[in-house]
Copies of this chain bind each other. A is one copy, B any other.
Amino acid sequence: MAKATRGPERREDALSRERIVDAAIELLDDEGESGLTFRVLATRLTTGPGAIYWHIASKSELLVAAGDAVVARAMGEVPASATPREAIRRIAVCVFEAVDAHPWVGAQLSRAPWQTATLQIFERIGRQVQALGVPGAAHFTSASALVSYIIGVSVQNAAQGRDLEPRADRAAFLETMSARWKELDAHEYPFTRNVADQLREHDDRAEFLAGIDLILTGIAASLQGQERGGSRRRPV
């Protein structure tokens, strides 16, 4: 099939920022963060390491671009939903799963905050915070808390799985970890020992959403306190 491209004709195999970033994402997914090397990347693109520098200034710029691209695609996949609360949960899950599928994005998100990637998430969450009826003055704080939580947990979740062998039973991992918690010093770690069983049975995605719900409940409670009315609600 012939494909109609616009703009000046380019060699199919010509280097471009876009091709480089896509190859980098592929390489990062295949080999992990330590697998991304200008030499390997150049080989995959059938060129030399120097060629890449014509299109991209540095490795860190490449990582930022790759992270932004992944987040942008994830945001594009957020399904529409009726209520703001439900929308927030969906955006959160999309970020969580995107980072889970591309663990290196996590490192990127926490390394470069207020980058395009974070901003996209912030904007999407912010609109829903607004829709929730949060007063203007609290927009930033509420959205910020949600975004921080979403990114923070996603990153930590991804880091957790990153070192596991490809299919290495997550269950087995939790099992050993739980066993280790039970062997902790009873005087130093009483709480942790007690919840060791809950660790074994827990579902990361569910815990993540439970945290979102706690924050949403907190926001809702604050709303109620703010609304005029005789009886002061719970303190915020």
Contacts and interface: CB of A to CB of B under 8 A. Distances in A.
A110 B144 contact: no
Interface in A154-199: 155-156, 159-160, 177, 188-192, 194-195, 198-199
> How many copies of this chain sit in the oligomeric assembly?
2
Interface of A: 106-107, 110-114, 119, 122-123, 126-127, 129-130, 136-137, 139-145, 148-149, 151-153, 155-156, 159-160, 177, 188-192, 194-195, 198-199, 202, 207, 210-211, 213-222, 224, 234-236
A73 B114 CA distance: 30
A148 B156 contact: yes
A113 B218 contact: no
A236 B207 contact: no
The 5 A-B pairs with the shortest beta carbon distances in the complex, nearest first, are A152-B152, A214-B218, A145-B211, A126-B191, A140-B198
Contacts of A127: 190-191
Nearest to A212: B145
15 contacts: A107-B110, A110-B152, A110-B155, A111-B159, A113-B159, A114-B177, A123-B188, A123-B191, A127-B191, A130-B191, A139-B191, A140-B207, A144-B211, A149-B211, A217-B217
B123 A192 contact: yes
Contacts of A139: 191, 194-195, 198
A201 B220 CA distance: 24
A236 B217 contact: yes
A106 B113 contact: no
Contacts of A145: 149, 207, 210-211, 214
Contacts of A192: 119, 122-123, 126
A106 B119 CA distance: 21
A125 to B, nearest CB: 8
Nearest to A216: B218
A143 to B, nearest CB: 7
Given A111-B159, A119-B189, A137-B198, 13 more contacts: A106-B110, A107-B110, A107-B111, A113-B160, A119-B192, A126-B195, A127-B191, A139-B195, A152-B152, A213-B218, A213-B236, A220-B221, A220-B234
